[in-house]
Structure 1
């Protein structure tokens, strides 16, 4: 039998069916298995790194009348010298949930509330002696 230019239209449907069945199905299922394995590995990695990071977190719990330093997040330049990023000491007057504390400045008698990221212990050496 000789090939004719019009034969492609008769065989196109069979060729497309064979292409869909033979090449697409095994590749799609293989990709799905690889994707699921990668997802499981990423979950395992996240759990391990979270455990490692959480192990090194030290909770800061302040009591009333503790002395603390307040962190200034903006860095200012003054006459070619750097100012300290810490102000204080301030006295803790009240503690709230989620690490929020109320502090009192003795020099100006000002009281304000501060988020947990912006303060630190004033005197670590004497913290355990009170």
Structure 2
């Protein structure tokens, strides 16, 4: 390096400045993505319909895993089910409601 007479002090300072600018850019991008996620969550939460279920309600159950069998005419809803218990956090306990047929 002495034979080539290179001055590394200026280059090293420039490299440190570039690393600092890169760190600032990364931090700004992180803050921007955090703000975006918060706004999207707020937007989504405003559009959720609150549903109140009561005991003895009859409901259908949506099966989101049915996409394994691709059929346009296959229903994704199963049921009917009878609600037997409603928990305070929104979960419900279901009982299979059997359709009782009389003698024919």
Summarize the Cα distance change of 1:83–1:19 in structure 2 as closer, same or farther, 3 Å threshold.
closer
| TM-score, length-scaled by structure 1 | 0.58
Aligned to 2:11: 19
Q: CA RMSD in A?
A: 2.9
Instruction: Give unpaired runs (5+ residues) of structure 1.
Output: 1-5, 110-130
Matched, 1:31 2:22: yes
Pick the aligned partner of 1:94 from 85, 92, 102.
85
Structure 1 segments (4+ residues) deviating >6 Å: none
Q: Take 2:76 and 2:12, find their aligned partners in 1: how far apart are those partners?
A: 66
**How many residue pairs are counted as aligned between the two chains?**
97
Aligned to 2:95: 104
Instruction: Give unpaired runs (5+ residues) of structure 2.
Output: none
Shift of 1:97: 4.8
* Structure with larger Rg: 1
Specify which structure has the higher proportion of strand.
Answer: 1
Aligned to 2:46: 55
